[in-house]
Structure 1
Amino acid sequence: MRIYGSEPGEQSVEVPGHRYAALIGGPLDGQLIDVTGWSRQQLVDGTALITEHGAFGPGGRTHYEGRPGDLDRLHWIGDTP
């Protein structure tokens, strides 16, 4: 699995002692994001990630949120410019 933020073609390596969540759906589907240090509420609230692959092209953001009881995965909710 590729880790969000790694360079294309770069071997992604999970860092021991870090926590990761899988990105589900949308343009980053199947990638992992390092959520080490995120609180439960931050995981539920989610994040907007910069990506070239979303609906708005380079510099656009794609939004992912967690779901209570399933905080090892963040689900895609849409894109913004």
Structure 2
Amino acid sequence: MDRDEELLRGRVYGQDHDHPRPGPRPGRAYAELVGGPLDGLLLDITDWQPNDIEDGAALSTQLSRWPDGRALYDPRPGESRRPGPGVVCRFYYSGDTP
């Protein structure tokens, strides 16, 4: 794992690596991002509705195929989600968009 990958692991998407608390916060629900440029990050989905979760996410990143592009992450159909705080589901990389 290179240094850039190490900085991303265990961090919440949107938090800077030098943020005083870059990791998950108690009482929040997260989707683990799997694959692609944001692999290993957690996405805070605490306030998302079930249909929002089904739609997945297009996340801004400098690590996209395009400068200032978005990495696309989606849940897998039929994959279980557990209720409550913590990591409740996974979103899988499905590509990039400008």
- Classify the secondary structure of the residue corresponding to 2:54: helix
Distance in 1 (CA, whole Å) between partners of 2:24 and 2:17 is: 16
Match of 1:5 in 2: 14
2:30 counterpart letter in structure 1: Y
Larger radius of gyration: 2
Match of 1:77 in 2: 94
More moved, 45-54 vs 59-68: 59-68
TM-score (norm 2): 0.74
Say which structure is richer in strand.
1
- Classify the secondary structure of the residue corresponding to 2:75: strand
2:72 to 46, 63, 74: 63
Q: Structure 2: which 5+ runs fail to align?
A: 1-9, 82-88
Q: Structure 1: which 5+ runs fail to align?
A: none
- Classify the secondary structure of the residue corresponding to 1:7: coil
Deviations 1:17-75 (A, max 9, x none): 11011000110000001000212221121010000001002x11111011232441001
Structural RMSD (CA): 1.4
Match of 2:44 in 1: 34
TM-score (norm 1): 0.87
Aligned length: 80
Distance in 2 (CA, whole Å) between partners of 1:75 and 1:69 is: 11
More moved, 4-13 vs 23-32: 4-13
Match of 1:15 in 2: 25
